[in-house]
Amino acid sequence: MSLASAFDHVTTWVFDLDETLYPPTFPLFPQIEARMAQWIVAELGVDLAQADALRRRWWHDHGTTLAGLMREHGADPAPFLAHVHDIDFSVLRPDPDLRAALAALPGRRVIYTNGTAPYAEKVLAARGLSGMWDAVHGIEHADHHPKPDRAAFETVFARDRLDPMRSAMFEDSARNLSVPHELGLVTVHVGPERAPGAHIHHHAPDLTAFLRAIVATGT
């Protein structure tokens, strides 16, 4: 099957945000992880090493640090999210080539992130990608259920009213593509190396080049 025919039915293009619409070489997420650890230290009275260990365990067991805090400690998500997203966005750079490749896609363009929508808007602005999205969905729109939970995808997709059978999802986290695959979306893993698994249909080591290839081959 050609790349064109794999996507010729797609009318909604769903993109993750962090380390999908910017390379992991930009030091944005390390800032968030550091602020997560600071929050855990302040709220739970543990030391930094313990906080980092908890953060990693919660990500593994619950999908996000926030989900672990909420499920195990009853944390209020709003102050946590405000704290961890108060970072320096100047480490990002505009990417006009990526903007052009995204703009050339036929149909709707949607953001779906485990961050908040206001945070996503700041990232998009720093990347020169503002004003081109039909919807920006944050974790607050999933009732604070995180990807990869099925409930998170079902809530956001219902809110968006997208047709899973006519949609594609781009993600840097391979585990976050399992449910979209089950729901019928075309799945694209974005990252240097392709992750294993039948739930991943395509691999995009260079997102801009991959999107250009879709359009160039006749979508």
Q: How many domains does the chain have?
A: 2
| Cα separation, 60 vs 82, whole angstroms | 22
Whether residues 154 and 191 share a domain: the answer is yes
Whether residues 8 and 112 share a domain: the answer is yes
| Cα separation, 205 vs 141, whole angstroms | 29
| Rounded alpha-carbon distances, angstroms, from residue 138 to 214, 218, 219 | 27, 32, 28
Task: Determine if the peptide bond prior to 148 is cis (ω within 30°).
Answer: yes
Q: Express each pLDDT in 14-46 by its tens digit.
A: 999 999 999 999 999 899 999 999 999 998 999
- Report the pLDDT value the prediction gives residue 181, as an integer from 0 to 100: 98
Whether residues 138 and 76 share a domain: the answer is no
Whether residues 107 and 35 share a domain: the answer is no
Residue 23 CB: number of other CB atoms within 10 A?
Answer: 17
Domain containing 80 — which CATH number? 1.10.150.450
Whether residues 126 and 67 share a domain: the answer is no
Tokens linked to 93: 């750079």
Whether residues 69 and 14 share a domain: the answer is no
Task: Mention every residue, 6+ apart, whose C-beta is less than 8 A from residue 40.
Answer: 46, 51, 54, 55, 65, 69
Tokens linked to 22: 């910017």
Query: How sure is the predictor about 62, in pLDDT bands with cuts at 50, 70 and 90?
Result: confident
Whether residues 42 and 18 share a domain: the answer is no
CA-derived radius of gyration, the chain: 17
Whether residues 70 and 11 share a domain: the answer is no
| Cα separation, 191 vs 172, whole angstroms | 6
Position 212: which residue type? R
Read off the pTM: 0.90
Whether residues 54 and 149 share a domain: the answer is no
**Residue 44's domain spans which residues?**
29-84
Whether residues 157 and 52 share a domain: the answer is no
Domain containing 194 — which CATH number? 3.40.50.1000
| Cα separation, 133 vs 200, whole angstroms | 24
Position 41: which residue type? V
Q: Express each pLDDT in 74-113 by its tens digit.
A: 888 999 999 999 999 999 999 999 999 999 999 999 999 9
